[in-house]
Structure 1
Amino acid sequence: MHELILGGARSGKSRCAELRAAHWLALPGHSAVLIATAEAGDDEMHERIARHRADRAVRVPGLATREEPRALAAALQAESAPGRLVVVDCLTLWLTGLLMPMHGAPADASAESEALLAALAAARGPVIFVSNEIGLGVMPMSRQARHFVDELGRLHQRIGAACARVTLMVAGLELPLKGAR
């Protein structure tokens, strides 16, 4: 069963996905991989990524990690298998890297989103997506920021429609939006 877990910064969304992975891994013959989409552009982000790696290794020791900031559809296709849970953390950073890359020109977010949705439809095992819900506040002032909010909202709607379960995390609490557990 596929799931989209949304929430604000420090809402507990990644922890929720890790808990789902830990439960999955407790079942005989199951494996799990996390596709991390973060890209380190400065020293603080390097440290943050290293801390997340170390913390995840303690919390969910059987969870493998693949770092893929751009080619998410291809990574999902490659990692999906029967008996294997794929956790994608997170769509927000992936879309940021596409629309506002540190190097090179922006990618076609619509085409990349289509490829990701096709990979999800073809997935041979369950997939959990983690993403920031950023559309609850005021409309941003800059054109680029408004475009990003719009694109992320569209992506969330499409991924949410394709998933059997959608969960909103607030203050570490799960609020089921679709397909209650």
Structure 2
Amino acid sequence: MILVTGGARSGKSAFGEKLAKTRCEQVLYIATSVITDSEMAARVARHKTQRPAHWRTWEGFQQLGDVIRQQVKPGEGVMLECITTLIANLLFEQSGAESPDTLDFAPLEAFIDQQISDLIDASKSCRTPVYIVTNELGMGITPENRLARHFVDIAGRANQRLAAAADEVWLVVSGIGVRIK
């Protein structure tokens, strides 16, 4: 399992894709984004044109451990983009329409933690490389609203677990990747 982290627009996705291209001929690209408006649709379309056309794409953010166990073909690497989008989608889905001011984040984080544990288990048992991209959120100020603070906390703890389990960890800054593990 190879974790690629960095700030927003740091070039981490392109860097992760470059690693995958150099090490894997075929790749299953797991895209965790949900298209909610035309701007997001344009982003997704741009990402699709930047990766090799022969890579397969699976779109979704739930039960990704099962996706890795059941969808990866022999010899095919995996590129998962991205953990923080996955966490945001799971938070939104699991919280329903409840106000962020009244949410009980402990069970939400427990559910996300289970999803991350299953993803780690599947990635570690996968016979081909699994590249996981995530945003490094711990380098900024503490957010002022409750939802954002909990999101940063949950994502930070998930990233720490992923980094501890990873065989390699890369930090990308301004498009330059530095191996930190």
In the aligned structure 1, how far is the partner of 2:93 from the partner of 2:54? 31
Structure 1 equivalent of residue 90 of structure 2: 98
Question: Which stretches in structure 1 are left out of the alignment for 5+ residues?
Answer: none
Q: 1:81 to 1:162 in 2, by over 3 A?
A: farther
Structure 2 equivalent of residue 39 of structure 1: 34
In the aligned structure 2, how far is the partner of 1:116 from the partner of 1:42? 28
Structure 2 equivalent of residue 83 of structure 1: 75
Structure 1 equivalent of residue 103 of structure 2: none
Q: Could you say what secondary structure the match of 2:18 adopts?
A: helix
2:131 to 119, 122, 128: 128
Structure 1 equivalent of residue 115 of structure 2: 112
What code does the residue aligned with 1:61 have?
A
In the aligned structure 2, how far is the partner of 1:126 from the partner of 1:168? 18
What code does the residue aligned with 1:91 have?
I
TM-score (norm 1): 0.85
Q: 1:168 to 1:36 in 2, by over 3 A?
A: same
**Contact 1:80/1:124 (CA < 8 Å) preserved in 2?**
no
Question: Which stretches in structure 2 are left out of the alignment for 5+ residues?
Answer: 98-107
**Contact 2:20/2:131 (CA < 8 Å) preserved in 1?**
no
Q: CA deviation at 1:103?
A: 8.7
**What is the RMSD computed on CA atoms of the aligned residues?**
2.0
Structure 1 equivalent of residue 141 of structure 2: 138
1:68-113 Cα distance to aligned partner (Å, 9 max, x none): 1223222122234542210100101001101123994768212212
**Contact 1:88/1:130 (CA < 8 Å) preserved in 2?**
yes
Deviating above 6 A after TM superposition, structure 1's stretches of 4 or more consecutive aligned residues are none
In the aligned structure 1, how far is the partner of 2:162 from the partner of 2:152? 15
Structure 2 equivalent of residue 50 of structure 1: 45
- State the percentage of identical aligned residues: 37
Q: 1:129 to 1:46 in 2, by over 3 A?
A: same
In the aligned structure 2, how far is the partner of 1:140 from the partner of 1:131? 19
TM-score (norm 2): 0.85
Worse-superposed segment, 61-70 or 150-159: 61-70
In the aligned structure 2, how far is the partner of 1:55 from the partner of 1:176? 23
Aligned length: 170
Higher relative contact order (CA 8 A, sep 6+): 2
Q: CA deviation at 1:151?
A: 0.9
In the aligned structure 1, how far is the partner of 2:71 from the partner of 2:84? 20
Structure 1 equivalent of residue 3 of structure 2: 4
Q: Could you say what secondary structure the match of 2:180 adopts?
A: strand
Q: CA deviation at 1:50?
A: 1.5
What code does the residue aligned with 1:46 have?
A
